[in-house]
Amino acid sequence: MSTTPIPAALVKDLRDRTGAGMMDCKRALSETGGDLDEAATLLRKQGLAAAAKRSGREANEGTIASYIHQGGRLGVLVEVNCETDFVARTDRFQQFARDVALNVAAMNPLYVSADDVPAEYTQREREVYAEQASDKPENARERIVEGKMAKHLAEICLLEQPFFRDATEKKQRTMEELRAETSSELGENITVRRFTVYRLGE
């Protein structure tokens, strides 16, 4: 895996080409040393690019799933969408929706994806990381800031977080990878639209 910082423009090029998520594009470019063609091939192999091509299709059906934890002290509601009512009723889709609700309860994300994070928030975080890296060599600062930003987004964005049920597995998928797998299996655009967390007394 390359340790060279990946330029944002290159990430955007790969995203425009494949339709895959920002963090997936960044990871693919990092793993392929910044080679755009190899990164696109890697994403296709992972099934993310194929699933992302469906993202332009309307997903107005779906379900609202819930998860209640800690003896009724914590509750989660999630809206997960697909294209048809037929798919919405399948066990596979319903299981994915329940897994999303469980992951929200377990990992406490703030946003669905990195695309939902307000620009002001990311700018403020970058400024903090830049200040923390101010004593480092100038040519290393950008890499440090980008690395910390990517790690932070992976902590606060649902789709970038690890899938809770994979904790005991050798390879832990992200929720985005699980979403892409589900989309590929069901042949429809599957999206996580929103979630709400309720804590007793808050």
* Domain locations in the chain as residue ranges: 8-54, 59-113+157-199, 118-150
- Could you read off the pLDDT of 93-103 as tens digits, one per residue? 999 999 999 99
d(C-alpha 63, C-alpha 84), whole Å? 11
Q: In this model, does residue 138 exceed pLDDT 80?
A: no
Q: What is the pLDDT of residue 175?
A: 94
Q: In this model, does residue 1 exceed pLDDT 50?
A: no
- Could you read off the pLDDT of 142-180 as tens digits, one per residue? 788 888 888 999 899 999 999 988 877 778 889 999 999
Please name the residue that has the structure tokens 């594009």: 25
Q: Which CATH number fits domain 8-54: 1.10.8.10, 1.20.1260.10, 3.40.50.12280, 3.40.50.720?
A: 1.10.8.10
What pTM did the predictor assign? Answer: 0.68
> What CATH architecture is 59-113+157-199?
2-Layer Sandwich (3.30)
CA-angle at 167, arms to 163 and 169, nearest 5°: 105
| 8-54 shares its CATH topology with 59-113+157-199 | no
| H/E element, 28 | helix 22-31
First to last CA, the chain: 43
Q: How confident is the model at residue 49 (pLDDT cuts 50, 70, 90)?
A: low
Query: Which span out of 16-20, 52-56, 82-86 was modeled with the highest average pLDDT?
Result: 82-86
